A = this chain, B = another copy of it.
Amino acid sequence: MRYFNNDYNEVCHPAILNALAENSGVQMPGYSADTYCSEAAELIRKKCDAPNAAVHFLVGGTQTNLTVIAASLRPHQGVIAAESGHINVHETGAIEATGHKVIVLPSKDGKVDPALAEKIIESQSLSMDAEHIVQPKLIYISNPTEYGTRYSLAELKELSALCKEKGLFLFVDGARMGYGLAAKGNDITLADYAKYSDAFYIGGTKVGAMFGEAVVIPNPAIAEDFRYLMKQRGGMLAKGWLLGLQFKTLFENDLYFTISAHADKMADKIRETLTDLGYALYLPGTTNQVFVTLPDKLLKELGKEFTFATWEEADEENTTVRFCTSWATTDENVDALCTALKNLSE
């Protein structure tokens, strides 16, 4: 079986395994009070051009989202997200379990529309009934989104300006941040995220690490007691240095960026093949996720050798599916996929 169903199918980049092996037997202090964590944090701060930002390491995405959001909100405040936002649809109500409402905006491409956001902020907070209504205090975006689309720098700035004007926080879920940074056409840098958001995270689980997400918090209002919340929500790893060591490895010599670019290139190849074959992509994209609507017949055959994610029924004879590449995707597997797509389309 060749796996294109997601981007977390392999252990981790060999450089990380090597680093682990080299540290076998070395003794280190717990809870991220080690030098690997401080070195990794420093590398990240430098890349973000944010010398004062707090940097913390957590194990997974849902944990990171719920901890950042719990740290940001008062009990009566909520978080604005696109309908397809991970926190709205794929975290078993993790945000609500911390007591907060996800205020949902309709969205076709997975992005938060600033105009819709502004409208709901005003209607919820300016209402004469405001006290009866959840008050939006944070906008949550994923970049790349759950549909593999990207925000432009201009769009990021617009959301940031809206948040500043209205007194909200902007939080960027970067589970696949590497694949966005390396994508063709992308004009956002890590420094931009640090400048225009209040908190964001740089995904490791899907981009080379065994596990781990690096949270960057430029806004001290959210950073203040973040480690208390990490511990309370079960997100403080005893052997924190495992996270530091991984992110140090990923951010030395720009490994994170190199391996991300590879994944995007692999996805471009699949996109090209699909377009050449006349299939319409579900949404345009240049990151590692390819959404396309294909005939059920073809998918049935394809499924014998390849895994992919079934997104939704398009009509009675076609289904929208997702092909995912990653830092670990091999040319060989992509070639095999493209060949199979061609053969099955004849």
Could you list which residues of chain A lie within 8 angstroms of chain B, going by C-beta atoms?
A: 1-3, 5-6, 8-12, 14, 17, 20-21, 23-31, 59-64, 66-67, 70-71, 74-76, 78, 89-94, 96-102, 104, 128-135, 205-206, 210-211, 225, 227-239, 242, 307, 310, 328
Q: Which of B1, B99, B233 contacts A27 (CB 8 A)?
A: B1
B93-A59 in contact (CB<8A): no
Tell me the complex Cα distance, A288–B97, Å.
Answer: 37
Secondary structure call for the A interface? loop
B92-A231 in contact (CB<8A): yes
- Of residues A74, A205, A233, which shows the largest number of chain B Cβ atoms within 10 Å of its Cβ? A233
5 residue pairs, one from A and one from B, having the closest CB atoms: A63-B234, A76-B228, A92-B232, A93-B134, A3-B27
A76-B232 in contact (CB<8A): yes
- Assess A70 versus B59: contact at CB under 8 Å? Given A97-B99, A134-B96: no
List 19 A-B pairs, Cβ < 8 Å. A1-B27, A3-B27, A9-B28, A11-B20, A11-B23, A14-B24, A60-B236, A60-B238, A62-B231, A63-B234, A75-B228, A75-B232, A76-B92, A76-B229, A93-B134, A94-B232, A131-B228, A131-B230, A131-B236
Q: How far is the CB of A54 from chain B (nearest CB, A)?
A: 13
Chain B residues in 8 Å Cβ range of A242: 11, 210-211
Q: How far is the CB of A285 from chain B (nearest CB, A)?
A: 21
Chain B residues in 8 Å Cβ range of A91: 132, 231-232
Q: How far is the CB of A311 from chain B (nearest CB, A)?
A: 11
Chain B residues in 8 Å Cβ range of A328: 25
Chain B residues in 8 Å Cβ range of A228: 75-76, 92, 130-131, 135
- Assess A225 versus B76: contact at CB under 8 Å? Given A96-B100, A328-B25: yes
Chain B residues in 8 Å Cβ range of A307: 29
Q: Which of B10, B229, B236 contacts A62 (CB 8 A)?
A: B236
- Assess A21 versus B29: contact at CB under 8 Å? Given A96-B101, A97-B75: no
Tell me the complex Cα distance, A14–B242, Å.
Answer: 15
Q: How far is the CB of A338 from chain B (nearest CB, A)?
A: 18
A sample of 10 more A-B contacts (CB under 8 A), given A11-B239, A94-B232, is A10-B28, A59-B237, A60-B237, A62-B234, A64-B234, A67-B234, A76-B92, A90-B129, A93-B232, A96-B100
Chain B residues in 8 Å Cβ range of A1: 27
Q: Which of B10, B97, B238 contacts A233 (CB 8 A)?
A: B97
Tell me the complex Cα distance, A111–B242, Å.
Answer: 33
A8-B23 in contact (CB<8A): no
Tell me the complex Cα distance, A8–B59, Å.
Answer: 17
